[in-house]
Structure 1
Amino acid sequence: MIESIGGLTGLSGMAPSLQLRPPQGSGPAAKVSAAGQADFAAALKAAADRAVNTLQTAETVSMQAMLGEANIQQVVDKVMEAERTLSTALAIRNKLIAAWQEISRMQI
């Protein structure tokens, strides 16, 4: 079975030399606090958890169909939903990697 995704603490090890500092000044960027960063991580984790739950549901319905407890229409619906979820998750991952690569190419 598919296991749930743990915390995003592994992301902090991707660039140990990168130290983020809160913005200075009084502009709109200065109003973003550490809570904003935590909110993004929480939203990303929640989206990943929902994706895992969708994949687990598709797997469960598929197993039920093999036992004769679910009809084919339910299986097709859940598997197609899982496929869309996985495609979306891969697209998001690819965008995050591309953004990280772009940031790493910036000259300081």
Structure 2
Amino acid sequence: MIESLAALASSSGKTASIFGSGEFGLALPDVRQTAPAAGAATFGDLMSQVAGQMRDTVKTGEAAAISGIQGKASAQSVVEAVMSAEQTLQTAVAIRDKVVAAYLEIVRMAI
């Protein structure tokens, strides 16, 4: 993920993929833009999209696990879905930890 963020910072285009390969299909507006374009996504909108996609991935993993228990899905598809859900959950926890750390740093700043 660090490499993806470095690639985002060095990008010269108008938009860049947040996660490098565009696996979530989200684009981040260029931070060098001076004025927001009409209808441009805000940071809150972007985080809402990411959270929604993370929720969907975890739900898919849960559904695959239930299907596997019922014998309706192969072991390979269950493992793939559960591993994807686990990776998504770990990413969500890492993002949450970074947001909390940034908030605590801001709170400690002298005004």
Amino acid of the structure 1 residue aligned with 2:93: L
Q: Tell me, in whole angstroms, the C-alpha distance in 2 between the residues paired with 1:106 and 1:32.
A: 28
Query: For structure 2, which runs of at least 5 residues remain unmatched after alignment?
Result: 1-30
Structure 1 or 2: larger helix share? 1
Structure 1 or 2: larger strand share? 2
Q: Tell me, in whole angstroms, the C-alpha distance in 2 between the residues paired with 1:88 and 1:73.
A: 23
Compute the displacement of 1:63 (Å).
0.9
Q: Tell me, in whole angstroms, the C-alpha distance in 2 between the residues paired with 1:32 and 1:59.
A: 42
Amino acid of the structure 2 residue aligned with 1:61: A
Which of structures 1 and 2 has the larger relative contact order (alpha carbons within 8 angstroms, sep 6+)?
A: 1
Which residue number in structure 1 is paired with residue 62 of structure 2?
Answer: 59
Choose from 86, 89, 93 the match for 2:89: 86
Q: Tell me, in whole angstroms, the C-alpha distance in 1 between the residues paired with 2:35 and 2:60.
A: 37
Distance change >3 Å, CA 101–CA 32, structure 1 → 2: farther
1:37-67, Cα deviation, whole Å (9 max, x unpaired): x610000011000110000000111111111
2:52 maps to 1:49: yes
Amino acid of the structure 1 residue aligned with 2:49: A
2:44 maps to 1:72: no
Structural RMSD (CA)? 2.6
SS in 2 for 1:81: helix
Compute the displacement of 1:32 (Å).
5.2
Q: How does 1:3-22 map to 2 (within 5 A)?
A: none
TM-score by length of 1: 0.66
Pairs aligned (count): 81
Q: Tell me, in whole angstroms, the C-alpha distance in 1 between the residues paired with 2:97 and 2:57.
A: 20
Q: Tell me, in whole angstroms, the C-alpha distance in 2 between the residues paired with 1:53 and 1:63.
A: 15
Q: Tell me, in whole angstroms, the C-alpha distance in 2 between the residues paired with 1:67 and 1:76.
A: 15
TM-score by length of 2: 0.64
Amino acid of the structure 1 residue aligned with 2:55: V
